[in-house]
Amino acid sequence: MKQMVSKQDVDDALGQDTAILFKHSTRCPISAAARGEMERFLELNPDAPVYTVDVNDDADTSRYLAEKTGIEHQSPQVIISRGGQPEWHANHFDIRADEVGRRMAGSA
């Protein structure tokens, strides 16, 4: 996972053809479960373009990501972006490695 700590990092991630944007808190048990799902996803897809932001340590970056995608802030949250546009997102316990994998493959 590549850490996003600035607006430029968000812009760079959204500039990719495909990006998986993971917002989380290091202080929240729900976020810990979601992070486990994202780590499991990465074990199966080690080359996946996953970008992460800690919503507490980098709150300005997290708010900027919400502004740029137009998706209301939640934590934890996963957003799949293609060509800079959000295509799919999930929050809280809806973040599952298998579903992220399906969405990355393009199937609903």
Mean pLDDT over the full length of the chain: 95
DSSP SS3 for 87 = strand
Under the banding of pLDDT at 50, 70 and 90, the label for residue 17 is very high
Torsion angle defined by CA atoms of residues 36, 62, 100 and 88, in that order, rounded to the nearest 10 degrees: 160
> Mean of the pLDDT values across residues 73-90?
95
Q: Where are the domains of the chain?
A: 2-101
What pLDDT does residue 41 have? 97
What pLDDT does residue 2 have? 96
What pLDDT does residue 44 have? 94
What pLDDT does residue 54 have? 96
Residue 107 has pLDDT above 70, yes or no: no
CATH class of the structural domain 2-101: alpha beta
